[in-house]
Structure 1
Amino acid sequence: MSQFVGGYYEVTNVKHEKLQSSLTETISGSVSNTKKHFINEEHFFLGYDVEKGTEEKGKYFYDDQFHVYFDGECYNAEKLKWRINEDIHIEGPYMPEIIAKLFRTYYTDVFEFIIGKFSLIIWDKKNKTIYGARDHFGVKPLFYHENDKTFIFSSSKKGIVLFLGKEAIDPEALQHYFSFQYVPEPFTLTKGVHMVHPGTYFIKSEDHPIQFIRYWKATFNPIHTDKNYWVTEIRNVMLEKVKAYMKNENKRIGNFLSGGIDSTLIVSLAKQIKQDIKTFSVGFEQEGFSEVGLAQETATKLEVENISTIITPEQYVDKIPEIIWQLDDPLADPSCVPLYFVAKEASKHVDIVLSGEGADELFGGYNIYREPTSLKIFDYIPKQIRRALRQYAQHLPKHVRGKSFIIRGTTPLNERYIGNAKMFEEEEKQHFLHYFDENVSYKQITGQLFEHVKDEPLVSQMQYIDINTWLCGDILLKAEKLSQANGIEIRMPFMDKEVFELASKIPVELKVTNLTTKYILREASRGIVPDHVLHRKKLGFPVPIRHWLKRELNGWAKQVIAESEVEEYINKSYVNNLLDTHCKGNADYSRKIWTFLIFMVWHQVFIEGKYNFSKQKVEQINNRIYV
């Protein structure tokens, strides 16, 4: 579980020693079972760590011109070696050396060749130029900061904040957070620190500002052919990918298993490759909010071992500050906590887990993707009447039945859809954000994305928005960071560009139907996964915060609101009123309240300095007991 941090600077303007001292704090604070490495060149610095017992060649390589650092996993390294001149011999699938050799021939095209999750840095010392790239979907993070004198990059936002010396909140990013429940890229909540977009590389050279070039983006190219063709293609590609992602002779591999079809398909295919696969599940005692029973039933039918964890409300809330510390920025997705716990349990038994993230975005799995069908009736109403209906509905009392349906049906998709989660409208935020800016809108994030797919079917447009926002900002962020926080590597076979290329060719009507989502993936899974999973309605990852905020977590919530020092940014009276209304049962405001609470705890962790997790977390990982 490595980290890296580095910089490009002008020696005359920045003291070499000060820069290295600031940056190496991040590396020095990482897990103690790693070896730290530092590369100092004129104008260039890189610090990184490598797990003891792991070959450095897998992370770093240099020759007479290039320094290459690779953080991540590549699942097609052997195929990449075929592209290299036959006279050049590389022992083993060492990605940094492969990239260095390919870069001489293919230049930046090499980034698109890689299948896997990665962030990488190339220092061209002859031309004094840095290249950095992030994987296609954004599994691995890559942060940066640029000013007139210095350019800093890191796998963790903490590394850059240490260099800057303070964590200053970006009001614009905060305003977006309360729309999305996460900070959408390229923003972070820290002023001056940004994230490189997925499928993007940058070039930074002397006396030139940073340039960003998109080397890959999702496109849809539907082919209308027989359903059975797609069933066969999906089965073949998923079995191929599960095999590739399980290829590691020296590591113990297991699977996350929920009650859904995505993880069950991965487990079923993994069982064909490795008979004694272990699976891991998590749930709650609250009735209706646990998939453990279903996961255990699935494991029994597949004849695989299942290890389950039940989380109490007390355990849940106790881990929130540490989880936020691991994530760098606030993420108000309640499923972060169970994911942390299941990763923690899995880390006692295996080194790598396979998981089903990405299937919903690629194959049309979210229930909201059926909305265009349910709203189709509005297409037959003249635009002028639709506008009148919308104005009428907006003046109805909040909880009048049908109000939301009319507003959604009369509002164009590009004006209402910002991804799978939407917390607050801009007009709502005026009531509680002290730095609210009427010139800032979530449409600044989604508008350009909609423009790219304006001629696609509405479901494809929704998929595209989710792939470019929700997927990298929430789903992949929590999966990668919270598994890494527990010293375990997560691999996601659906998050493969070749799987996407197949999914992008499948027509919308085979993904989402009147009766179900992920239709063609379910058909491809028939006979592979148990029947009780095949047509189960998607629930997401249910977490009972709606109930807990009224009872078990009510005292904790009130304490966080009272003690957090966020008055500069948030109107606390608004939050307290929201909580009171929720507790009276007049409406379900649990997700909106949760968005406030997570920001408040983030503020306590990073601004107020109420917690310190570095040393504690290092000791936990180093003292792991394997079962």
Structure 2
Amino acid sequence: MCGFLALLKNEPLSVHEMTLMHESLQKINHRGPDDSHVYYDEHAFLGFNRLSINDLSLGGQPKISKNGDYVLLFNGEIYNYLELKKNLESVGCIFETNSEAEVLLTLYQIMGMQFVNQLRGMYAILIYHVSENTIVITRDKFGIKPLYYSYDKQILNVASELKAFNTITVNKSELDYTALQQYFTFQYIPEPNTCHTEIKLVPPGHVLKFKLNNEMEQYAMPSLTFTPQIGGADAKLKRIRETIMESVAAHMLSEVEVGTFLSGGIDSTIVTSCAKLINPNIKAFSIGFKTEGYSEVREAKKSADYLQIPFYSEMIDANDYIQALQDVIYHLDSPLADPSVVPIYLISKKAAQHVKVILSGEGADELFGGYGIYKEPKLIEHLASLPISLQKIILSISHLIPQGIKGKAFLERGCLPLIERYVGNAFVFSEKEKQQLLTFYNSDVHFKQVTQPYYDGIQHLDRVTQMQTIDLNTWLTGDILVKSDRLSMAHSLELRVPFLDVEVFECAKGLIKDEKIQNGLTKHDLREAFKDIIPPHIYQAKKKGYPVPLNTWLRHELYDFAKEILSSTDCNGLLNPTCGLKLLDEHATKKGNHARKIWSIITFILWYEQRLDCGIIA
């Protein structure tokens, strides 16, 4: 795992620009503290920070081809690279090292942009063709590893994190108010947009090619598409088990020690149980809160004892949470109002004291139907089947019910089309609420502009599978993978996700609704496939993730903190401060549960003030 950046210019690079690039590379040193190297010529600068995991002695980057005409930067892991190397050797290729970088560079020279179709893994890759003065960049299908770029035909900037743009590009780039408006719906900025107008993320599964003074070329790999198939139930279970076990084994290949994150849920327990079969002494790490009812550490410890593996845990309170918050926001770069960011940051810090690689259960919910909200289509099917005219009457009546009254949300959601009510796992502020909160609100911007392109191609699928598709393409890339990558790499910890593997997706994509949600239990087939090796108390465990007691804290321990933040600034006139204070007052007096809304505003303020203090925004 590593971090890299690149600059390609029409004009020769100045000494000042070279200095700035070295400074930017230092800003992402946490992604690769073991080694740092650069390549440069008259028009290009490529910088690389390395976290050594495999081929510790010979895997240095930037990797230059034998003929000197190609230079490669690579962040991630290619789990089939030994197989690819063997195939290349069979056609006469000779390798000097056992590194993935050399395999990738050779494969690209033979296949061009199509080389990505051979890759199984998580990656962000850059290849500079020196004689043609072109750069190709690509990112894995799931978007596990980040890669940002800025291009105006005269200059191309590329980097693993937004903060690496600070000294050259961001100061010239305006805030993207459309993206920030969408943040208040989704609790994150939907990809490929960022908080800056001129900087974008490489879309997952895409290859972008740049030649200065020309338009960007783009190649898209075949997309990840759910195709439910009836029948073959036993064969499906067998394939799920075999493929996930093989994926975990592949993800454990490392020359340094590997551990696992272990919660009280089934995803991390499956990963840990499979890993235990390969390494009987694998270390497991868990975190919880001291607030009653907000910790899975006890369940995780019970699982670790059942598996007879070493177990490390951390218990934190509201003060620990706030102490870490500014560092978390710094490493995230963009506003992300998921409360679980802090526990992920802190457990990564603890794990990094013992191991260099960690396995985690991200992706199982999106692939196998794990979120509780996926039960909703069944719960509201009677309302959803009513005539539209009757639904409109019920919807009008529901609007008259005060906020916080039980049943209001059920009636509203039951009478709305899926595209109107489901934007992913978080739906924070409605368009009407955003209009009151944001002074920069633009009525031409709507949350459906993010989700509509995905809904357009999946109307033939059942509602659960439609919801999975939305989450796979928005929530997973914009929230789950952002926090897992940035906050593990903040501690130079490589986080690997065995469920997010192309072969595992091939198993999951064919599951029908009842093989995902059955008898009120999510991830039915995933549970069934592993029920004989996971601890018995985990089989029916409900999903919690890292449950954060924000509801309670914002009424007690964090009330003063929240009030101070909400009262301190309007972010240069971007926010209406009375909205946040009103929400906090209603929440504190239990007139409503506004924790997610309040936290979205607080996160935005802290992010904005941090960027302001750094001189990144005026």
Q: Does 1:67 align with 2:71?
A: yes
What are the within-5 Å matches in structure 2 for residues 227-242 of structure 1? 227-242=233-248
Superposition RMSD in Å = 1.9
* Mapping of residues 153-192 of structure 1, within 5 Å: 153-164=158-169, 166=171, 168-192=174-198
For the Cα contact (< 8 Å) 1:319–1:337, is it kept in 2? yes
Which residue in the other structure is 1:280 paired with? 285
Give the one of 541, 545, 551 matched to 1:540: 545
Query: How far 1:42 moved relative to its partner?
Result: 4.1
Counterpart CA distance in 1 for 2:601 and 2:613 is 16
* Alignment map for 1:18-33 (pairs within 5 Å): 18-29=16-27, 30-31=29-30, 33=33
In 2, are the aligned partners of 1:27 and 1:48 still within 8 Å (CA)? yes
Q: 1:288 to 1:51 in 2, by over 3 A?
A: closer
Task: Name the SS for the 1:49 alignment partner.
Answer: strand
Matched, 1:607 2:612: yes
* Kept in 2: contact 1:59–1:71 (CA 8 A): no
In structure 1, C-alpha distance between the alignment counterparts of 2:509 and 2:482, rounded to whole Å: 23
- Gap change, CA 1:343 and 1:165, over 3 Å in 2: closer
CA contact (8 A) 1:364 1:517 kept: yes
Does residue 90 of the first structure (1) align with residue 95 of the second (2)? Answer: yes
Corresponding position: 1:360 with 2:373? no
1:428 correspondence with 2:433:
yes
CA displacement at 1:236 relative to structure 2 = 0.6
Describe the superposition over 1:481-500 as per-residue Cα deviations: whole angstroms up to 9, x where unpaired: 11111121111100111101
Residue type of the alignment partner of 1:579: L
Whether 1:123 and 2:128 are equivalent positions in the alignment is: yes
Give runs of aligned pairs for residues 110-509 of structure 1, distance below 5 A. Answer: 110-164=115-169, 166=171, 168-248=174-254, 250-509=255-514
Are 1:564 and 1:601, in contact at CA under 8 Å, matched by a contact in 2?
Answer: no
Task: Output the CA distance in 1 between the equivalents of 2:218 and 2:463.
Answer: 29
> Kindly tell me: are residues 165 and 92 of structure 1, through their superposed partners in 2, closer, same or farther at Cα, counting changes over 3 Å?
closer
- Between stretches 74-83 and 238-247, larger displacement belongs to 74-83
**Structure 1 residues 517-548: Cα deviation after superposition (integer angstroms, max 9, x where no partner):** 10000101111101111012222321101111
Residue 439 of structure 2: SS of its match in structure 1? coil
Which moved further from structure 2: 353-362 or 51-60?
51-60
**Per-residue deviation at 1:141?**
0.6
Gaps of at least 5 residues in structure 1 are 612-627
Q: 1:40 corresponds to which residue? A: 40
Distance 2:200 2:462 in 1: 32
Cα distance in 1 between the residues matched to 2:541 and 2:94: 51
Aligned to 1:77: 81
Matched residue SS, 2:166: helix
TM-score computed with the length of structure 1 as normaliser: 0.93
Decide whether the 8 Å contact of 1:564 with 1:603 is kept in 2. Answer: no
Instruction: In structure 1, give the amino acid aligned to 2:47.
Output: G
8 Å CA contact retained: 1:83, 1:102: no
- Would you say the 8 A contact 2:208–2:216 is kept in 1? yes
How far off is 1:153 after superposition?
0.8
Asked whether the equivalents of residues 604 and 610 of structure 1 are also in contact (C-alpha less than 8 Å), the reply is: no
1:370–1:513 Cα contact (<8 Å) kept: no
Change (3 A) 1:376 1:59: farther
CA deviation after TM superposition for structure 1 residue 83, in Å = 3.5
CA distance in 1, matches of 2:46, 2:367: 36
Q: Distance in 2 between matches of 1:499 and 1:572?
A: 46
CA contact 2:348–2:487 (8 Å) conserved in 1: yes
Deviation at 1:254, TM superposition (A): 1.0
The SS at the match of 1:36 is strand
Are 1:562 and 2:567 an aligned pair? yes
Q: Structure 1 residue 610: deviation in Å? A: 9.9
8 Å contact 2:39–2:62 — kept in the other structure? Answer: no
The one-letter code of the counterpart of 2:21 is: L
SS at match of 1:162: coil
Counterpart code for 1:21: T
Change in CA separation of 1:6 and 1:404 when aligned onto 2, cut-off 3 Å: same
1:481 is paired with a residue of what secondary structure?
helix
Contact map agreement 1:335 1:541 (CA 8 A) in 2: yes
CA deviations over 1:197-228 (Å, ceiling 9, x no partner): 11111111132122333214211222322322
Unaligned runs of 5+ in 2: none
Deviations 1:430-473 (A, max 9, x none): 10101000000111110101112222111111111101111011
One-letter code aligned to 1:303: Q
Q: Distance in 2 between matches of 1:583 and 1:45?
A: 53
Q: SS of the residue aligned with 2:93?
A: coil
SS of residue in 1 equivalent to 2:105: helix
CA distance in 1, matches of 2:78, 2:292: 41
1:577-616 equivalence runs, <5 A: 577-609=582-614
Q: Give how far 1:132 is off.
A: 0.3
CA shift for structure 1 position 58: 5.1
SS state at 1:70 partner: strand
Provide the rounded CA distance (Å) in 2 between the counterparts of 1:535 and 1:165: 48
SS at 2:2 equivalent: coil
In 2, the alpha carbon distance for the partners of 1:165 and 1:361 equals 33
Deviation at 1:380, TM superposition (A): 3.1
* Letter paired with 2:543: K
Q: For the residues of structure 1 that align with 2:47 and 2:58, how far apart are their CA atoms?
A: 13
C-alpha displacement at 1:16, in angstroms? Answer: 3.3
Q: Deviations over 1:112-145 (max 9, x none)?
A: 2211111000112232221100111111111111
Separation of aligned partners in 1, 2:384 and 2:568: 50
How far is 1:2 from its partner?
A: 2.8
Q: How far has the Cα of 1:390 moved from its partner?
A: 2.3
Distance 1:158 1:493, change over 3 A: same
Contact 2:174 2:197 (C-alpha < 8 Å) held by counterparts: yes
Task: Note closer, same or farther for the CA distance 1:68–1:33 as it changes in structure 2 (3 Å cut).
Answer: closer
CA distance in 2, matches of 1:609, 1:16: 24
Q: Partner of 2:598: helix, strand, or coil?
A: helix
- 1:430 counterpart letter in structure 2: Q
* CA–CA distance in structure 2, aligned partners of residues 39 and 92 of structure 1: 19
What's the CA shift for 1:41? 2.9
Q: What is the number of equivalent residue pairs in this alignment?
A: 608
1:99 is aligned to 2:104: yes
User: What amino acid sits opposite 1:81 in the alignment?
Assistant: K
- Give yes or no for contact 1:144–1:160 (8 Å, CA) kept in 2: no
Task: Compute the displacement of 1:56 (Å).
Answer: 5.7
Deviation at 1:513, TM superposition (A): 2.1
Alpha-carbon shift at residue 381 of structure 1 (Å): 1.5
**Is the contact made by 2:6 and 2:159 (CA closer than 8 Å) also made in structure 1?**
yes
- Tell me the SS of whatever aligns to 1:431: helix
What residue identity is the alignment partner of 2:9?
Y
User: Is the CA contact (8 Å cut-off) linking 1:142 and 1:153 kept in structure 2?
Assistant: yes
Residues in 2 aligned to 1:505 and 1:115: alpha-carbon distance in whole angstroms: 20
SS at match of 2:263: coil
The answer (yes or no) to whether the contact 1:373–1:514 under 8 Å persists in 2 is: no
Moved more, 19-28 or 257-266: 19-28
- Matched position secondary structure for 1:473: helix
- For residue 562 of structure 1, report the CA deviation from its aligned partner: 2.8
Mapped partners of 1:510, 1:491: distance in 2: 26
